[in-house]
Structure 1
Amino acid sequence: MADVHGPVALDSARAEVVLNRMQLLVTRKLDGLLQGDYLGLLPGPGTEAGESREYRPGDDVRRMDWPVTARTTLPHVRQTVADRELETWLAVDLSASLDFGTAKYLKRDLAIAAAAAVSHLTVRGGNRIGAVVGTASELTRLPARPGRKDAQGLLRTIALTPPRPGRADLGALIDMLNRPPRRRGMVVVISDFMTPVSQWARPLRKLGVRHDLLAVEVVDPRELELPNVGVIALVDPETGSMHEVQTADAKLRHRYAHAAAAQRAEIASAIRGANASHLRLRTDSDWLLDIVRFVAAQRHARTRGTTR
């Protein structure tokens, strides 16, 4: 029993159908969630200085307005105004490990879906979107351009990126958005983060200092726990090596689940340490519903004065 899908490259016709369907789904579900003066996917306050108001529990202490606080003897924070134009960058990891899926989708499908949702939510009013795409053999930069037509072209390029055996350097991919420094904006990193945290945590923290940062983690349920189905053949999509595992062994399943939980906890901790929002998409869940819930929760948190 092989519990893995082989690499699947989208041809032009299929890519067009998939992207059009995603666009329709995203438009129906997400339009109307972000009406008002919000910045991008994560409805935030922007960077331009605005008026001051009294501090409320949950406000970011980095926005304390100390002169007003001293004059009034009450803590105040400086409100900021959303930027008129937003520049959004996607860092899309298309390593061979994303050509895997044991449920409704491949992880690669979810990566493209997340890119489509971010594109739809941010490309309006002159906003620009660009991307860096990583495969095992190369890192590609797609320049940021305004307009839905260019955004659709960018998504087609991502969807048609051919799968290659091996692992992209996630740290180098993220660092492409640190050098050269860009104007403040929004950065979305889409990956399964299945590389040592030490390789990408520092570049991610650097991004979080300057930008509104979102990490989209794509996960397959077999990466979290093994089913009890007897002998299962697992193929590593990055190396091609195959291992047969006896899943009837309860101790082995427990050790696997424990190690997987520890790995995911380390990933989540590194993402929090970068001051990034964290969205997890699973191949056995409704990805669009997960995105809708995430965006709604972010808006609710922002309107209550919290930052994450």
Structure 2
Amino acid sequence: MDTKEIIKKVKRIELKSRRKANNLFMGEYHSSFKGRGMIFSEIRPYQYGDDVRNIDWNKTAHFNEPYVKIFEEERELTMVLMVDVSASENFGTKKQFKSDTIAEICATLAISAITYNDKVGLVLFSEEIELFIPPKKGKKHVLRIIRELVNYEPKNSKNNLSDALRFLMDAFKRKANVFILSDFMDESNYLKNLKIAAKKHDVTGIRIYDEKETEIPDLGMVRMVDAETGERKFINTSSYQIRKKYKDYYAQMAYEFTQEFNAAGAGNMSIRADEDFIKPLLNYFKKHAVK
């Protein structure tokens, strides 16, 4: 992809994502995640209904009337987008690849975040950390993130979420809102590190899948290639046993994704690559909203 095509695609994704963010769930994003805590705002005379535990006794004694300390939520947040760039993401049978949908979701989330002056960071991972962009604010920074999502050429074809989660814990000492975007075709046994990460951070796994991945159609003898290992073999897709075995394998993998994220206390959702992702995101944010 040449420079002009990259710029054109970045602008298209940015404009499309801005409309989605502005029109549909900006308020839901804002209400779904807590800030880091409460910070001191001011001291003022006591008013009916104030919490007596916040009385400032020094000021009260000095002015001979009750004064209270007022606190407000520290709203600024850090969002971390962890994106799987392994070879299996470059698959799609309808309007776009899984990686394209991931880029659009990331752009929409990032634009929502910077609208509230939050910071956004990006981690691209395969079987190693391929790129880390530390969190910053602003539109220029988000455009850089979109550009990397559109143009980055991965060095490795496999993935390892367990190691990526270890990097997350080392790189981010303070609480962050972490979105992991992947197809979760991962055999790295990541549950242990996911549990540790979810205790410190607000973690959400977003599984992106293609409809045709869920089962193999009857196409006779077909040569297939494993995108991550490069292994090639002929498969008799006319065999009911083979098709059923694959369908059961895929269903189990999708089930394990949900089970492991639930076990870790992390949020999760699955989005088909060719569907409008706003509705599932909106529903998730509503359920996730701080009461």
Identify the TM-score tier after normalising by the shorter chain.
0.7 to 0.9
Could you say which residue in structure 1 is the equivalent of 2:17?
26
Could you say which residue in structure 2 is the equivalent of 1:173?
164
Distance in structure 2 (CA, Å) of the matches to 1:195 and 1:140: 19
Distance 1:90 1:219, change over 3 A: same
Is residue 220–residue 237 contact of structure 2 (8 Å, CA) maintained in 1? yes
Distance in structure 2 (CA, Å) of the matches to 1:146 and 1:269: 34
Q: Output aligned runs, 1:91-240, within 5 Å.
A: 91-136=82-127, 138-196=129-187, 198=189, 200-240=190-230
**1:300 and 2:291 are equivalent in the alignment:** no
Could you say which residue in structure 2 is the equivalent of 1:44?
33
Instruction: Give the number of equivalent residue pairs.
Output: 261
Q: Which amino acid aligns with 2:37?
A: E
How far did residue 35 of structure 1 move? 4.8
Could you say which residue in structure 2 is the equivalent of 1:269?
259
Is residue 46–residue 81 contact of structure 1 (8 Å, CA) maintained in 2? no
Task: Show CA shifts across 1:127-146 (max 9, x none).
Answer: 11111112356532111111
More helix by share: 2
Is residue 110–residue 142 contact of structure 2 (8 Å, CA) maintained in 1? yes
Is residue 129–residue 145 contact of structure 1 (8 Å, CA) maintained in 2? yes
How far did residue 232 of structure 1 move? 2.3
Distance in structure 2 (CA, Å) of the matches to 1:301 and 1:24: 27
The structure, 1 or 2, with the larger RCO (C-alpha pairs under 8 Å, 6+ apart) is 1
Q: Which amino acid aligns with 1:123?
A: I
Task: Show CA shifts across 1:84-120 (max 9, x none).
Answer: 2111111111011212222322222122222212111
Q: Which amino acid aligns with 2:19?
A: R
**1:255 and 2:245 are equivalent in the alignment:** yes
5+ residue gaps, structure 2, are 40-70
TM-score, normalising length: structure 1: 0.75
Distance in structure 2 (CA, Å) of the matches to 1:239 and 1:183: 36
Q: Which amino acid aligns with 1:217?
A: R
Task: Show CA shifts across 1:2-52 (max 9, x none).
Answer: xxxxxxxx443322222222222222233143455x665x723445359xx
Distance in structure 2 (CA, Å) of the matches to 1:241 and 1:117: 35
Any runs of at least 4 consecutive aligned residues in structure 1 with deviations exceeding 4 A, and if so which? 302-305
Is residue 36–residue 77 contact of structure 2 (8 Å, CA) maintained in 1? no
How far did residue 227 of structure 1 move? 1.1
Is residue 198–residue 264 contact of structure 2 (8 Å, CA) maintained in 1? yes
Distance in structure 1 (CA, Å) of the matches to 2:161 and 2:288: 30
Counterpart of 1:177 in 2: which secondary structure? helix
TM-score, normalising length: structure 2: 0.80
Distance in structure 1 (CA, Å) of the matches to 2:99 and 2:290: 35
How far did residue 162 of structure 1 move? 0.7
| Stretch deviating more after TM superposition (159-168 or 254-263) | 159-168
Distance in structure 2 (CA, Å) of the matches to 1:149 and 1:160: 16
Is residue 212–residue 276 contact of structure 1 (8 Å, CA) maintained in 2? yes
Distance in structure 2 (CA, Å) of the matches to 1:226 and 1:81: 55
Q: State the identity as a percent.
A: 23
5+ residue gaps, structure 1, are 1-9, 51-79
Distance in structure 2 (CA, Å) of the matches to 1:97 and 1:171: 17
